[in-house]
């Protein structure tokens, strides 16, 4: 393969956001989609719940907006929420047109309509789903459509190292013009030029020891955008999913919130329910409240887990509505039609990210960010269940319109030097990378997790500084590897999370600190923004 390739649009990431954008642009522009592993591997593939959208006559856009604002604890941008929620139905219609096999129910007139379930924070049933494997249905369908459409270049097993900007090349004005990308199979660094680069890299759950995220969720897009000079916002708001399967052999299996939406109870090892002590909405309270309640009870009892029990529902109902969960739990010897499921919270979703508008535009011309990597203002201090896939679809569609509208305004691409490896050697101690990776994830879990303190954050920051120095030296002296690239990005993202958490001296949404237990709307009813130059 040539070491330099040119495209119109370079999409880094292949989840719902990246593939949706590729489909919208692929017939008119030369599009390249990069995936770190197989094209479908990413958070979308493992999303069980669904897509929130106003589809029922008894529901309304206004109700969805208000539920989202309430969950976001005062930090959602109302105009963004209204814009994204308003486009929900059309995105579901688009997905159905592409062939996504959503679960349906019979209507009174003999027809069929999509089945709607309810999840935490929603006041109505408005979650469209494909049984309990919605993400897989969306991901595989969109990929089939991309391949059938043709004209879209797919690079699997490629990882972006850094964005290329005219500023880094010594030119002005600054603009993103491509990326250096490692072909993991060949060990070769490619130079991919494009007047538009789109980050669709997802979140950063792997910065924590326990996460529901797949291994690819290492914050690459956020770190690259930060190094390119973009601002980030609200990085302190990390959502911990309340219910991941607790089992020695279960690595990252999430138990969909729809289990609680369909009547699942959270119980102590004694069988006693406990959510009534924390919120009147019980198991359907927003995720931050449920996760903290579980964390509190685990610490109070010295237990490694609590239970999620849906066995009181009919067995046929459980098997038909939750076939994936049922089968996976059976593999671990748990029959959810008869037994409660041991569960523990785990890092799940990053509400912050690269600052963008609703169309994904960043502050750097030529660079867009869509999906979990971005902070549009939709989620505020806490994402409401199933709003994430909705955001992916709406912002990808809006980004496509914006890019097509900019075609006549794009300058010629500059000459970009090839990646220079003349001054580096092969790493002689890969164990350093493995050790640093493990250390980072452990202290982030211990010090920057569900419950925080100022002292814990200060400890975490000191350790991040030490790791950054070691990793920076390693990066400068040895050839890049996928593990080194990901670790470099995770350390950067960890620092952004810690510094953002230190700036917010209150408890709000997903940020809960024992030193400032109350919400402070006088001083902190605003986004936490970090910009280049705020710290070295």
**Which pair of structure tokens corresponds to residue 78?**
């109302």
Q: What is the pTM of this model?
A: 0.91
Geometric angle at alpha carbon 313, from 311 and 319, rounded to 5°: 80
How is residue 271 annotated by DSSP? S
Predicted pLDDT at 226: 98
Q: Which of 347, 376, 14 is CA-nearest to residue 213?
A: 347
Whole-number Å distance between alpha carbons of 522 and 85: 28
Multiple choice CATH, 240-347, 3.90.700.10, 3.90.950.10, 3.40.50.720, 3.30.300.130: 3.90.700.10
The strand ranges marked E within 246-325 are 265-267, 306-309
Number of C-beta neighbours around residue 30 at 10 A: 16
Q: Is 125 exposed, middle or buried (CB count within 10 Å of its CB: 0-12, 13-18, 19+)? A: middle
Predicted pLDDT at 1: 60
Q: For residue 496, is it left (φ>0), alpha (ψ between -120 and 50) or beta? A: alpha
Q: What is the DSSP string of 137-158?
A: HHHHHHHHHHHHH--EEEE-SE
Catalytic residue among 193, 287, 463, 508: 287
**Which pair of structure tokens corresponds to residue 144?**
């089939």
What backbone torsions phi and psi does residue 234 show, to the nearest 5 degrees? 55, 35
Number of C-beta neighbours around residue 172 at 10 A: 8
Question: What is the total residue count of the chain?
Answer: 536
Element (H, E) at 463: helix 454-477
Contact predicate 35/154, CB 8 Å: yes
Contacts of the segment 359-363: beta carbons below 8 A, 24+ positions apart = 359/395, 359/398, 359/399, 359/401, 359/402, 360/198, 360/395, 360/396, 360/398, 360/399, 360/402, 361/399, 361/402, 362/225, 362/230, 363/229, 363/230, 363/231
Contact predicate 237/351, CB 8 Å: yes
Query: CA separation (Å) from 281 to 120, 122, 290, 494?
Result: 9, 11, 10, 33
Around 306, how many Cα atoms within 13 Å sit in the side-chain half-sphere?
Answer: 27
Strand-pairing partners, residue 341, are 308
Whole-number Å distance between alpha carbons of 536 and 529: 16
Predicted pLDDT at 536: 66
Predicted pLDDT at 190: 97
Tell me whether the CATH fold assigned to 4-155+351-408 matches the one assigned to 430-513: no
Q: What is the DSSP string of 73-135?
A: TT-S-HHHHHHHHHTHHHHHHHHHHHT----EEE-TTS-EEE-EE--TT-SS--EE-STT-HH
Predicted pLDDT at 241: 87
Tokens 């692929």 correspond to 26
Contact predicate 205/219, CB 8 Å: no
Predicted pLDDT at 458: 98
Geometric angle at alpha carbon 188, from 183 and 192, rounded to 5°: 70
Q: What is the pLDDT along the chain (536 residues), one digit of tens a residue?
A: 678 999 999 999 999 999 999 999 999 999 999 999 999 888 888 887 899 999 999 999 999 999 999 999 999 999 999 999 999 999 999 999 999 999 999 888 888 999 998 887 899 999 999 988 899 999 999 999 999 998 899 999 999 999 999 999 998 889 999 999 999 999 999 999 999 999 999 999 999 988 989 899 999 999 999 999 999 999 999 999 899 999 888 877 889 888 998 999 999 999 999 999 999 999 988 788 899 999 889 889 989 899 999 999 999 999 999 999 999 999 999 999 999 999 999 999 999 999 999 999 999 999 999 999 999 999 999 999 899 999 999 999 999 999 999 988 888 899 999 998 877 777 766 778 888 999 999 999 889 999 999 999 999 999 999 999 999 988 888 899 999 999 999 999 999 999 999 999 999 999 999 999 999 999 999 999 999 888 86
Class of domain 430-513: mainly alpha
Predicted pLDDT at 197: 98
> Which pairing describes strands 116-117 and 127-128: parallel, antiparallel, or unpaired?
antiparallel
Q: Respond yes or no: is residue 287 known to be catalytic.
A: yes
Whole-number Å distance between alpha carbons of 279 and 288: 11
List the chain domain ranges.
Answer: 4-155+351-408, 240-347, 430-513
Place domain 4-155+351-408 in its CATH homologous superfamily. FAD/NAD(P)-binding domain (3.50.50.60)
Contacts of the segment 414-418: beta carbons below 8 A, 24+ positions apart = 414/166, 414/169, 414/171, 414/177, 416/4, 416/164, 416/169, 416/177, 416/178, 416/191, 416/193, 417/169, 417/191, 418/3, 418/4, 418/189, 418/191
């Amino acid at each position: 393969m040539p070491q330099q390739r040119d495209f119109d649009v370079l999409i880094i990431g292949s989840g719902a956001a990246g593939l949706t954008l590729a489909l919208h642009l692929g017939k008119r522009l030369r599009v390249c989609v990069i995936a770190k592993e197989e094209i479908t591997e990413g958070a979308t593939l493992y999303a069980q719940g669904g897509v929130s959208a106003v589809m029922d006559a008894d529901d309304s856009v206004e109700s969805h907006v208000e539920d989202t604002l309430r969950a976001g604890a005062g930090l959602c941008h109302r105009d963004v929420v209204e814009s994204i929620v308003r486009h929900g139905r059309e995105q579901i219609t688009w997905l159905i047109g592409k062939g996504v096999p959503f679960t349906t129910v019979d209507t009174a007139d003999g027809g069929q309509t999509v089945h709607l379930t309810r999840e935490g924070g929603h006041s109505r049933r408005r979650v469209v789903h494909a049984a309990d494997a919605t993400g897989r249905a969306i991901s595989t369908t969109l990929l089939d459509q991309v391949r059938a459409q043709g004209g879209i270049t797919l690079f699997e097993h490629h990882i972006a190292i850094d964005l290329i900007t005219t500023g880094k090349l010594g030119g002005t004005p600054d603009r993103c013009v491509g990326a250096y990308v490692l072909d993991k199979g060949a060990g070769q660094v490619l130079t991919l030029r494009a007047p538009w680069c789109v980050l669709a890299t997802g979140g950063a759950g792997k910065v924590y020891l326990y996460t529901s995220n797949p291994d690819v969720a290492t914050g690459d897009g956020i770190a690259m955008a930060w190094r390119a000079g973009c601002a980030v916002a609200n990085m302190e708001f990390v959502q911990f999913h309340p219910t991941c399967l607790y089992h020695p052999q279960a690595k990252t299996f999430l138990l969909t919130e729809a289990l609680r939406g369909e009547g699942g109870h959270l119980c102590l090892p004694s069988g006693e329910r406990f959510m009534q002590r924390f919120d009147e909405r019980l198991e359907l309270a927003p995720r931050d409240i449920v996760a903290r309640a579980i964390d509190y009870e685990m610490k109070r009892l010295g237990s490694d887990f609590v239970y999620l029990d849906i066995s009181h529902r009919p067995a046929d109902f459980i098997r038909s509505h939750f076939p994936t969960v049922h089968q996976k739990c059976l593999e671990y010897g748990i029959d959810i039609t008869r037994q409660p499921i041991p569960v523990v919270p785990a890092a799940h979703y990053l509400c912050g990210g690269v600052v963008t508008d609703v169309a994904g535009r960043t502050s750097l011309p030529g660079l867009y960010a869509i999906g979990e990597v971005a902070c549009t203002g939709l989620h505020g201090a806490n994402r409401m269940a199933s709003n994430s896939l909705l955001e992916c679809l709406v912002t990808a569609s809006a980004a496509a319109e914006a890019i097509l509208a900019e075609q006549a305004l794009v300058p010629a691409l500059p000459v970009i030097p090839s990646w220079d490896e003349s001054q580096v050697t092969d790493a002689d101690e890969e164990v350093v990378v493995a050790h640093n990776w493990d250390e980072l994830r452990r202290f982030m879990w211990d010090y920057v997790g569900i419950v925080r303190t100022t002292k814990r954050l200060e400890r975490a920051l000191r350790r991040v500084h030490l790791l950054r120095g070691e990793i920076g030296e390693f990066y400068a002296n040895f050839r890049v590897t996928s593990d080194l690239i990901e670790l470099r990005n995770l350390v950067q993202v960890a620092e952004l999370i810690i510094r953002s958490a230190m700036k917010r001296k209150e408890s709000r949404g997903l940020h809960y600190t024992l030193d400032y237990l109350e919400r402070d709307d006088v001083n902190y009813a605003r986004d936490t923004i970090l910009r280049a130059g705020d710290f070295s």
